[in-house]
Structure 1
Amino acid sequence: MTLQRKVGPAAIVLTAMSLSVAACGNGTAEPAAPAPAVSAEPAPAPSAGKESPAPGEETRTPTPSVPGSRRVIADGRWPAYVTAVGDGTLTMDLVEFLTGDRAIREWQKRYPDSEDRTPPNDYLIVNDNPRKRTLPIISGLSVKVLDGGSAAVVEVGVAGLKERLGHTLFWLTVKKGKVVLVRQQFLP
């Protein structure tokens, strides 16, 4: 008789459920709207009849657990305002960047008396959570921004990132718990 038969189907289901809950982490990571195909480019125009995926639908690689550490945010691409850059760290204010039908629904929910039935420029940034997250950054972090006059993409490094704290929307790519790429989001 195998172990599976001895513990029974209910124990297997409970074990699978426990593993699923454990894989979700401690609940500190929050889902964000999926990233556009290319950073530092105009946001994709909403397509008629096609809805943006819901937050968290994008597949993300779980951050490996490190003994004695706590996962700040899951690996993946996240829209955020950078609020501080320290010695080897970056502090971010995570937001939701909504486009398409999701942006329209959220706009109408938040502003039901508005004459406008859609958000200006067809996107909506939702920042309902005041929590800031500090993550380590890799050495030589690539930071690309838009050159205001020409809309060309320019590498500015961490020093250039410090000049844009709090007021520029970025997409941060996190791998193994560290920020590995920072790309500015074009906003009309």
Structure 2
Amino acid sequence: MTERTAVVRPLDRPGDLGWVVMAHGEFYDREFGWDTDFEALVCRIAADYADGKEPGPQAAWIAEVDGRRAGCVFCVRADARTAKLRLLLVDPAARGLGVGARLIEECLAFAREAGYEAITLWTNDVLGSARRLYERHGFRLTAEDRHHSFGHDLVGQTWRRSLQRDITAGAVPPR
């Protein structure tokens, strides 16, 4: 068996934004039966990123496996002290290669270096694999709310983690 090669690079090539929208739309339809309202939300998030509508530092990354797009994540400003992780996705064919962890680590490192003190994200409880990754990277659930979106009754979740050093112990929160 040939070893598969995964790399994470900045989202900066023609087709990257379109791939993010298409991959999210197709994956969430196939896995969860979500309708095009979700794809439209992803499109707005990607367009706002591309237009630089969010003030402050922001970045996005694409993971490639054997030269093909296989994942993504965005880091944007929530407020002056808080970043927001958005649009994490790993193609099912690339799971088990550490792609999701690498994308989250890239996002956390960027947010820390940009001077953000904390990072948040919003997800839904049905996304178990992503939630387990968030927990392993130090995120903690801070709120839940029931909503009807994307053609389904869902439970939205807000997660948060500090990016500050633990001054008393001199340690950096887990990456």
TM-score, normalising length from structure 1?
A: 0.20
**Structure possessing the higher radius of gyration over alpha carbons:** 1
Q: Which is helix-richer, 1 or 2?
A: 2
Greater RCO, 1 or 2 (C-alpha within 8 Å, sep 6+)? 1
Q: Which is strand-richer, 1 or 2?
A: 2
